[in-house]
Amino acid sequence: MNITKDPFNVALDSVLIVVPTYNEAVNIPTLLEKIFNISNQLNVLFVDDNSQDGTVDQIKKFQTHRPTQIHLLQRPGKLGLGTAYIKGFKWALEQTVPKKFQVMIEMDADLSHDPFFLKAIFEELKTHDAVLGSRYVPGGGTRNWGLIRKFISRFGSLYAQIILGLPLHDLTGGFNAWHRHVLERINLDDVRSEGYAFQIELKYRAFLQGFRFKEVPIIFSDRFLGTSKMSHRIVIEAMYRVWLLRGLKAQLKS
């Protein structure tokens, strides 16, 4: 169905890294330095939710040096990770000047997702529709995480994997790359989930469409600077959302 014989051409200047931010000013300079060290041609879109710590000022400062590569969308308040990504993806799909973005990559602002792993991701994008940075395949893992956090994450992925029957190992992870044709096929307006559930939902919707996935091992290091915005509410949302998502399969078939 979605089998393509020729490898995809992954031009780095058509890659857009989408980064949702909420109070991440301290992390912006290093993040951008690391991204552009991988390639000078990459593009970044920040979706900021009215951060109060000067995040936007930081972004704008770097934007003056790379006006065609660094983009910023601003929302009036903290509206959640899921809708921030949806807004970013929709913006990305609409852009045509100077060229269309062909690959969208999800990445946190806090350096937990090391741009170092982008190289492996780009390689696998040549032959897969979607590439997931995965903590739970050989070579992947987490660093500086407490036992409880490790347990919640590992259990969360296994729980969703079993309930949804998904053959993917890191379902809650948020370091993922999508060819534009995948995002075009997902009805982004129908995606309702927020935090971890959002990551599960996106993968599930793409999987149900028959797209080919690859998981590349990543080491997720907990943030050194700034504070986490995740809460118990987001974990609970993921637990019940998975059951709602199960119904999608029947819905998409009919």
Among 24, 48, 106, 110, the residue binding Mg ion under the rule CB under 5 A is 110
**Number of DSSP helices (H) and strands (E) in the chain, helices first:** 8, 9
Single out the segment in contact with ligand GDP by CB under 6 A; choices: 9-17, 108-116, 123-131, 246-254.
108-116
| Strands (E) located in 96-181 | 103-106, 130-134, 141-143, 176-179
As measured in angstroms, the least distance from the Cβ of 227 to Mg ion is: 9
Binding to ligand GDP, residues 56-95 (CB under 6 A): 78-81, 84
Q: How would DSSP label each residue in 169-214? A: S-SS---EEEEHHHHHHS-GGG----HHHHHHHHHHHHHHTT--EE
Report the residue number, 13 or 222, with the smaller CB distance to Mg ion: 222
Check residue 110 for interaction with ligand GDP (CB under 6 A): yes
As measured in angstroms, the least distance from the Cβ of 105 to ligand GDP is: 13
Report the residue number, 24 or 170, with the smaller CB distance to ligand GDP: 24
Contact 72, 28 (CB under 8 A): no
Question: Is 186 buried (19+), middle (13-18) or exposed (0-12) by CB count in 10 A?
Answer: buried
Check residue 124 for interaction with Mg ion (CB under 5 A): no
Per-residue x/- track, 69-108, Mg ion (CB under 5 A): ---------------------------------------x
Report the residue number, 66 or 78, with the smaller CB distance to ligand GDP: 78
As measured in angstroms, the least distance from the Cβ of 98 to ligand GDP is: 26
How do 176-179 and 130-134 pair as beta strands?
Answer: antiparallel
Check residue 192 for interaction with ligand GDP (CB under 6 A): no
Check residue 199 for interaction with Mg ion (CB under 5 A): no
Check residue 112 for interaction with Mg ion (CB under 5 A): yes
CB-based contacts of 153-161 (< 8 A; 24+ apart in sequence): 156/196, 156/235, 156/238, 156/239, 159/239, 159/242, 160/200, 160/238, 160/242
Binding to Mg ion, residues 223-242 (CB under 5 A): 223
Q: How far apart are CA 159 and CA 171, in angstroms?
A: 9
As measured in angstroms, the least distance from the Cβ of 251 to ligand GDP is: 27
Contact 86, 18 (CB under 8 A): no
Count of residues engaged in binding ligand GDP, rule: CB under 6 A: 20
Give the residue among 186, 194, 196, 198 at the shortest CA–CA distance from 252: 186
Structure tokens at 106: 């999800």
Single out the segment in contact with ligand GDP by CB under 6 A; choices: 36-44, 63-71, 175-183, 225-233.
225-233
SS3 state of residue 216: strand
Note the residues at the interface with Mg ion (CB under 5 A): 108, 110, 112, 223
Note the residues at the interface with ligand GDP (CB under 6 A): 20-22, 24, 47-49, 78-81, 84, 108-110, 112, 223, 228-230
